[in-house]
Structure 1
Amino acid sequence: MNDLLNIIGNVGFPIAVSVYLLVRLEGKLEVLTQSINNLSNVINKSNPA
Structure 2
Amino acid sequence: MEELFKQIANLGFPIVVTIFLLVRIENKLDQLSECIHELTAAIKSMK
TM-score normalized with structure 2 length: 0.91
Report the residue type matching 2:4 in the other structure.
L
How well do the aligned residues superpose, as a CA RMSD in angstroms? 0.7
Instruction: Show the counterpart of 2:9.
Output: 9
Looking at structure 2, the residues matched to 33 and 12 of structure 1 have their Cα atoms a distance apart, in angstroms, of 32
Residue 25 of structure 1 corresponds to which residue in structure 2?
25
User: Residue by residue, what CA displacement relative to the aligned partner does 1:24-45 show, whole Å, maximum 9, x if unpaired?
Assistant: 1000000000000000000000
The 1-side partners of 2:3 and 2:13 are apart by: 16
CA distance in 1, matches of 2:8, 2:14: 10
Identical residues among aligned pairs (%): 43
Deviation at 1:13, TM superposition (A): 1.1
**Equivalent residue number for residue 44 of structure 2:** 44
Equivalenced residues, count: 47
Q: Which runs of 4+ in 1 moved over 2 A?
A: none
Where structure 2 has 5 or more consecutive residues not aligned to the other structure, the ranges are: none
